[in-house]
A and B are shown apart, each in its own frame.
Chain A
Amino acid sequence: MSDGSKRYKYSTGGEPVIHFIPPNRIDREGLFGALWNRLRGEEADDLLVASIRAHGVREPIRLLEPVGDDPRYRLVSGRGRLLAARELGLETIPAVVLDADEGDAVIRGLMEHYPDRRYSAAQAAVLCDLLVSRIGVDRARLTCEILGLLGFSGAKRVLDDLLDTAGLGDDVLMLAHRRGYSLRVLVRWARFDSSDRHDIAGLFRRVRLGSGPGDEVLGILREISVRDGTGVKDILDAPELSLLLDGDDEAVQRLGEEVRAILRSLRYPRFTAQKREFDRAAASLPLPKSAVIDHHPTFEGGGIGFSCRFQNPEEMEEAARFLRDAAGSDAVKKLFSLV
């Protein structure tokens, strides 16, 4: 072949024809290159490099024919293998050249991964954005045919959410992709303005939070921000939080639960104050050993709880004495006034 590619008939009867193409004849940006660059960076994956060094490229990559003045093939899928092949200096890489337009190629590329591949919400967002804004895939087609392949429900709203979140910025999307954040988290994140988004990214980089806790934190930040008319930075500058977040990085990574607790107390000041008051009043009582006084978790149910585990009859008597003596005390009156 004049272009340097070797073409072998790998099999007949409708099976794909495998080409062996020099890696430098392939535009690694291709259809998805920019997308994966945004989420994964441009370095080859070490494990994949080692595997290809040992076994070669076992699965052909997918390409589209060159178009226009650019003589290079356009990459559809197999970017990781292509980067590894380049790093290893392979002369050629096996490839299937698809006879399809870009939209079809994308669908076929996705179908080949289906159903094993799991796409993160960040990947899906960037992918959908690419398909709509660059390739011009019709939204209805995207909703009906492609969202399912990405593992998302084929609802118009889901596509809208994905497209909304595609504008979050590469740093946020890359972080969200690495952490596997759900679409719900990204949708919440996208509702903040760009400065707030950046501050949130700073927090999320420092504090390890999964999708559920991350969703809660974003919700709380939003609600405080609306309530107080402040930006995220002002919230994170609260003394309790900034003290916590000033530590060294590794320690901070472990503090997700504490950060959430502080944010909850800022979000629910009345509840927090009531709980503190209750705990203070309970602590002032000479409780018998192993006894606990508590309240309904949200103070919704009335009354106070008293529980105790006895090891012997004397402890029972002690508890009975306590209940009799404490019933009229100011601390107990205080407890009842709080529930």
Chain B
Amino acid sequence: MEGVTRLYILDDARGYPLASDIAEQLGVVPEYVPGINDVPASDGDAEEVLVLAAHRGRIVKRCPGTRRHICCNYHVVNQVLGCGLGCTYCILQDYLNVPGTLINVNIEGTFRELDRALARRRKYIYRVGTGELADSFHTDELTGFARRFVTYARGTTGMIFELKTKSDRIDHILDLDPEGRTVVSWSLNARSIARREERNAPAIEARLSAAKRAAEAGYFIGFHFDPLVDFPGWEYEYRDTVRMIFDFVDPGRIVWVSLGTFRCPPGLMRIIDRRYPESVLMSGESFPGDDGKLRYLKSIRIEMYAHMIKWLKEVDPDLFVYLCMERRDVWERVFDPASPIPRKNAGLDRLFHESLARRWMPHVKG
């Protein structure tokens, strides 16, 4: 993580070795403040501000999902909040009220919380990861959290841990044997979207090359096409990206691929309009859905999903492809009628479980 010029350490985080480590690595004199509200609002680039905190309360949370849309019951660890990749569509622009990137340095507390979560009886495999409110690797050279999570996951049962990223700087975890319990997943997109809307992220080829290295090191791999963006020529570009996946990664190592077309709350649309008026996201045919978020016209979403599923399944019919936050009637229109369609969130959780039981569990050590 480069370019940090202001480092704030909240009182709660004082005394944690990681806090002083990070300050030393950055070579920035930290400013100690009592709480998050005492961090001055950033009047410049929020990327320059790093806040070190120690979370209190729960840090492992169920993905909140969205009304009348099917969610997969994923769990998220909010160890880091904020991301410096500056993607045009990033929900964090609207969602986070932190004047920079915030790192919770007390990872031991997270492990204790995960221990408690895993101690509960569960019907399905517990899927949890760090990539919801941050990129799992963006601050990892400072924190080393990824290695800690991989090591933690090795000693668990009934859990699969996901590190979700756009980064190609993942080599520092490749010497660890994940024992099959960690999935490293990449967010992918059409090349031109990656170039225009994910400006600070590595190119698609670089991400896939990193995925190849991770797979060779024993990690399972996931891919997320989210957001799929409607633009003239999307069919050719997304098909290219799908083809490229299999040039780099053996489909047998891929545990899931998610699809989600671009969607956003109206507030985020206003932010995008203000910050990135030339963004192609502004010109899609979006309308408010049942949850108030703007989504592409349903027929456009169906067309995009149907194509993506066809291209992915052509290579591996058993590949687990799912829709993120979609309506049931959309599921019904895009998947083979013979495929099981989840009625509710638990149904999708079950489909995950069944697929993992086939594709993943036989390869897990221990």
Partner of B287, one of A219, A222, A227, A271: A271
Residues of B contacting A299 with CB < 8 Å? 297-299
The proximity string for B residues 283-322 relative to A, scoring 1 for CB distances below 8 Å and 0 otherwise, is 1010111100001011110000000000000000000000
CB distance from A43 to the nearest CB of B (A): 38
Q: Given A222-B277, A226-B277, are A300 and B298 also a contact pair (CB < 8 Å)?
A: yes
What is the minimal beta-carbon distance from A98 to any residue of chain B, in angstroms? 34
Is the pair A298, B287 in contact by a Cβ cutoff of 8 Å? yes
- A301 to B297 alpha-carbon distance, docked (Å): 11
Interface bits A271-287 vs B (CB < 8 Å: 1, else 0): 10010000000000000
Chain A residues contacting B295 (CB-CB under 8 Å) are 300
On chain A, the residues within 8 Å of B278 by CB distance are 226
* Cβ-based interface call for B280 (8 A): yes
Q: Which of B280, B282, B288 contacts A298 (CB 8 A)?
A: B288
Q: Are the C-beta atoms of A191 and B277 separated by less than 8 Å?
A: yes
**Which range contains the number of A residues in contact with the other chain?**
10 to 19
B residues 193-208 touching A (CB-CB < 8 Å): none
**CA–CA, A298 and B279, complex, Å:** 23
Tell me whether chain A's interface is mostly helix, strand or loop, or mixed: helix
User: How far does the alpha carbon of A259 sit from the alpha carbon of B26 in the complex, in Å?
Assistant: 56
Does the CB pair B297–A223 fall under 8 Å? no
- Cross-chain pair count, CB within 8 angstroms: 46
Chain A CB within 8 A of B329 CB: yes
Q: Output the nearest chain A residue to B303 by Cβ-Cβ distance.
A: A270
Which residues of the other chain, A, contact B289 by a CB distance below 8 angstroms?
Answer: 300
Q: B299 and A222: CB pair below 8 A? A: no
Cα–Cα, bound, A222→B278 (Å):
9
Interface presence of A114 (CB below 8 A): no
Q: Taking A298-B287, A300-B287 as contacts, is the C-beta distance between A223 and B299 under 8 angstroms? A: no
Partner pick for A226 among B280, B299, B300, CB 8 A cutoff: B280
B299 touches A270 (CB 8 A): yes
Bound-state CA distance A276–B277 (Å) is 30
A222 to B283, CA, bound (A): 9
Residues of A183-226 at the interface with B, using a CB-CB cut-off of 8 Å, are 191, 219, 222-224, 226
Among candidates B279, B285, B290, B327, residue contacting A270 with C-beta atoms closer than 8 Å: B285
Q: Which residues of chain B are near A269, meaning CB under 8 Å?
A: 285
Shortest CB-to-CB span from A188 to chain B, Å, is 9
Q: Shortest Cβ distance from A262 into chain B, in angstroms?
A: 16
If A271-B297, A299-B297, A300-B298 touch, whether A226 touches B282 (CB-CB below 8 Å) is yes
- Decide yes or no whether A306 CB sits under 8 A from chain B: no
Name A213-263 residues within 8 Å CB distance of B: 219, 222-224, 226-227
Docked complex: A264-316 residues within 8 A CB-CB of B? 267-271, 274, 298-302
Could you say which residues of chain A place their CB within 8 Å of the CB of B283?
223-224, 226-227
Having A300-B327, A302-B329, one finds 16 other A-B pairs with CB under 8 Å, namely A224-B283, A269-B285, A270-B297, A271-B287, A271-B297, A274-B297, A298-B287, A299-B298, A299-B299, A300-B287, A300-B288, A300-B289, A300-B295, A300-B298, A301-B290, A302-B327
Can you list the 3 inter-chain pairs with the closest CB atoms, starting with the nearest? Answer: A227-B283, A298-B287, A302-B329
